[in-house]
Amino acid sequence: MYPNTQADAGETASLAEYSSKSMGHLGIVAQVCREIDLAGEIDRIVGVDPRQKVTCGEAVVAMVLNALGFVDRPLYLFPEFMATKPVELLIRGGLKADDFNDDVLGRTLDKLCENGPESAFMRITANAYNACSGRFLHGDTSSINLQGEYTHEEGDLDAVPIEITYGLSKDGRPDLKQFVISLVMSDSLPVFIQALSGNTSDKNHFREMVKEYGQSLQEKWGEDKIWVWDSAVYSEQNLEEISDDYTWITRVPETLSEAKEVLENSDTEKRHSTALNGYRLFSTEVEYGSVKQRWVVVFSEKAFARETKTLERKIKKEKEQVEKDVWHFFNQEFHSLEDAQKAAQEMEKGWTYHKISATEVRMKKKKKDGSRGRPRKDEPTLTIYRIKVEFGEDRSVIEKKTLKKGKFIVATNELDSEKLSDEEALTAYKEQQYAERGFRFLKDPLFFANSMFLKNEGRIVAMVMVMGLALVVYSLAEKKLREALESENETIPDQKKKPTKKPTMRRVFQVFEGITLLYAGSKMGKVLNLRPIHGKILALLGSEYERMYCTC
């Protein structure tokens, strides 16, 4: 029905004055940014131009909101993202979506790059965390693939902060150019992030990074921090150059001859059980790279069962191939017994888990001219040799390989087991998952990294810092909520509706989906679609979070 009275027309006009904007979980994100004074810290680092309506700090907060909005929008669609959000509530009154255009964002990224993103990130995290309870610093790297050429003249490469180029792709895409991200975590909190050239090698990077930034990190988080890395760092040069100044834990590559010997000869009786379920350990002191160190030999029951099954599959698969090899070999003809025996030996060299157990030589006469039929008694002939091969499993090889299964070596230059026990060294190495989790977050298809379309290497370096700041905000929110749930002995439902004290923040963000802010004209009104679970989570996070979602 169309309005046909003045009252109907007035009612329609008044309804048109109402609108809504999506709030969702971004109120939590914005409040964490305020608690750590993210905008203010950025502005103190890069400075504030009085001519700017949006400061660099506010632009960074907006990018973090976009990154944690999980909407997969490239930067050039940024105003579209902001247009659906209550900008004046999440960032600052007086700001509008159109204020966050590509010029503002590009200028912010340029300033971040100019002011040293690595040092800025360390300063911000030091201000955000005050203290890191973790004893260990976990370092790792991962690669980010990019589309595009990213070509420069040879002389221009010195002017770019990183080189986008081909390298060892950890995503299995060697056809794409890439850059590398280096991340350091203390427990679940990131404390350092850096963008590196695409061909950066882990073997050199960790040594160079700890020499350049290690002292600054330990000054901020404590001189007693222990570095933890994967086996890429384990080389003579690396250990010699960092061991005098830093305590470290890393895995020893099983390819080292010294490691192979220890793993093969480790005495079962020496292993002692631990509080870590399914693990048995023993340690020994060695010297490698002129560095005295303790090797903790670890036996994992789960890993042994898993690796033994894998070994059995490999043996079975090779047996099938060996049967084919033997059948084809028997049908080969040789002109001398020596040639036949050499060929059998060469065939055997291609086997790993099997060996020739017996051979039967068969000879026959053949016409010298190669024609068919049985040769006559006075006709010239050749003696042809064929070998029938029997094979079996090479038990010595299989037993030798089985002895290594379920074992690996964790090394540390802390020789005093009172200061660092074998169990603590193993636990610290297992906690490398903190860095791996951080990378899973940064490389999530719904995260900003997927929209890394930037053509300027300097802006990519700065964007990596912004990605790191998004991880900081996410990690702090998760830590804050989990600690509140633990202290209050409370739970919230997980994805399967089961109570948990350790929800992921992603799950919490999903719970807040659908919350909107009602506007009457340009005036903010009520927050809509709040349910009791939202009130419980906000109360656990604190009064400022409740105020963010209160009736305005």
Q: In the listed set 381, 415, 449, which residue is the last one of a domain according to the structure?
A: 415
Non-local (6+) Cβ contacts of 144 within 8 A are 178, 179, 180, 181, 443, 449, 452
Same domain (yes/no): 478, 405: no
Instruction: Assess contact for 102 and 76: CB atoms under 8 A.
Output: yes
User: Does the residue 511 lie in any domain?
Assistant: yes
Q: In the listed set 381, 400, 415, which residue is the last one of a domain according to the structure?
A: 415
Strands 136-146 and 226-229: parallel
Q: In the listed set 364, 384, 415, which residue is the last one of a domain according to the structure?
A: 415
User: Does the residue 199 lie in any domain?
Assistant: no
Same domain (yes/no): 394, 492: no
Same domain (yes/no): 27, 88: yes
282-311 confidence digits (pLDDT tens): 899 999 989 999 999 999 999 999 999 999
Same domain (yes/no): 392, 259: yes
Same domain (yes/no): 318, 384: yes
Give pLDDT, residue 274. 81
Mean pLDDT in order along the chain per 10 residues (552 residues): 44 65 96 97 95 95 90 69 93 93 92 95 91 84 82 62 87 86 93 94 93 90 91 95 95 93 78 83 93 95 94 97 96 92 95 95 79 72 90 94 91 96 95 90 67 76 94 95 96 93 94 93 88 96 94 50
Task: Tally helices (H) and strands (E) across the chain.
Answer: 20, 16
Instruction: Assess contact for 461 and 117: CB atoms under 8 A.
Output: yes
Same domain (yes/no): 290, 384: yes
User: Does the residue 481 lie in any domain?
Assistant: yes
Instruction: Assess contact for 343 and 379: CB atoms under 8 A.
Output: no
Instruction: Assess contact for 92 and 58: CB atoms under 8 A.
Output: yes
Same domain (yes/no): 392, 264: yes
Give pLDDT, residue 73. 63
User: Does the residue 281 lie in any domain?
Assistant: yes
What secondary structure, in 3-state letters, does 10-46 show? Answer: HHHHHHHCEEEEECCCHHHHHHHHHHCCHHHHHHHHH
Same domain (yes/no): 308, 395: yes
Same domain (yes/no): 265, 411: yes
221 alpha-carbon distance from chain centroid: 23
Domain range enclosing 397: 254-415
Give pLDDT, residue 492. 96
User: Does the residue 339 lie in any domain?
Assistant: yes
Give pLDDT, residue 18. 87
Same domain (yes/no): 463, 336: no
Strands 272-273 and 189-196: unpaired
User: Does the residue 75 lie in any domain?
Assistant: yes
Same domain (yes/no): 411, 281: yes
Give pLDDT, residue 369. 65
User: Does the residue 441 lie in any domain?
Assistant: no
Same domain (yes/no): 471, 537: yes
Residues 60, 63, 64: CA angle, nearest 5 degrees: 90
d(CA 149, CA 164): 8
The structural domain count of the chain equals 2
Token pair belonging to 138: 């976990």
User: Does the residue 33 lie in any domain?
Assistant: yes
